[in-house]
Amino acid sequence: MGKDVIIACDFDSAEKTFAFLDKFTGRKPFVKIGMELYYAEGPSIVREIKKRGHKIFLDLKLHDIPNTVKKSMAVLSRLDVDMTNLHAAGTGRMMEAAIEGLTRPDGTRPILIAVTQLTSTDEETMKRDLLINEPIGEVVMHYASVAKGAGLDGVVCSPLEAGAVHDRCGKDFVTVTPGVRFADGDIGDQKRVMTPAEAKRIGSDYIVVGRPITAAEDPVAAYERCCAEFIG
């Protein structure tokens, strides 16, 4: 699986997104489109960014009954995204249905990864609100194993969990890790962060980087710095 830096395009309009992407006149970065931008602009934003030559991770985190997820994944697959995701909490059957929906007639499909437990959920909240009483690390690893069993390609996880996920699910099981900051940068609201170089050392396959690039004075230079540290 190729290592890459994915820029989180957390903008609320196409106008702001294109003003940002227009700065990249050389290499076209892999970009993540999340709920905010997708709900603001709809599928046309995906088609337009794709037309500009970017790879796309469509981060919509599907979670519904298997049949609904299967049919929705078929629609996303036709948008020709490169990567998309769902919640592992939807169960193995939902994840298998997602793969079925995502697979195109020619057998190809976007990379499909699972969210295990959101990093905004801590162990105490998980116990209190979800009645899950196992240690959170075990829960994350179990969800990763169920995702792998269902045929998914990998998980979104903290860079701190990437090594353990590879140990449990194999080195080819993809880890996509947000929470990346430069050593001399602002942490913002992220709690547990790693530099791109550390994420590389620990074995992340893709890093998702938002504000350290989108809010930088020179986003192209920040992106290039990320690539140099992470990909080499």
**In the complex, which residues of this chain contact ligand C5P (CB under 6 A)?**
8, 10, 34, 118-119, 156, 178-179, 188, 190, 208-212
Q: Which of 3, 16, 50, 61 is catalytic?
A: 61
Name beta bridge partners: 34: 59
Would you state the structure tokens that stand for residue 223, as one six-digit string? Answer: 């992106």
Q: How far is the CB of 76 from ligand C5P (least distance, A)?
A: 18
Nearest CB to ligand C5P, comparing residues 50 and 61: 61
- CB of 10 or CB of 41, closer to ligand C5P: 10
The secondary structure of residue 180, as a DSSP letter, is B
Catalytic annotation present for 171: no
Helix (H, G, I), strand (E, B) or coil at 12: coil
Shortest spacing between CB 71 and ligand C5P, in angstroms: 25
Nearer to ligand C5P, 99 or 115 (CB): 115
Smaller CB distance to ligand C5P: residue 109 or 211? 211
**Which of 67, 97, 101, 73 has the alpha carbon at shortest distance from 85?**
73
Burial (Cβ within 10 Å: 0-12, 13-18, ≥19) of residue 139: buried
CA distance 159 to 202: 7
Nearer to ligand C5P, 106 or 189 (CB): 189
Q: Which amino acid is at 210?
A: G
Q: Give the angle 182-177-86 at the CA atoms, nearest 5°.
A: 150
- The CB-of-10 to ligand C5P minimum distance in angstroms stands at 5
Q: Is the Cα torsion angle 96, 100, 106, 111 positive or negative in sign?
A: negative
85, 115 contact by CB (below 8 A): yes
Q: How far is the CB of 166 from ligand C5P (least distance, A)?
A: 18
How many Å apart are CA 95 and CA 59, to the nearest integer?
15
Q: Fill in the amino acid letter for 125.
A: T
46 contact partners, CB below 8 Å, separation of at least 6: 33, 38, 56, 58, 79, 81
Residue 211 beta carbon to ligand C5P: minimum distance, rounded to whole angstroms? 4
Residue nearest to ligand C5P according to CB distances in the complex: 210
The catalytic residue positions are 61
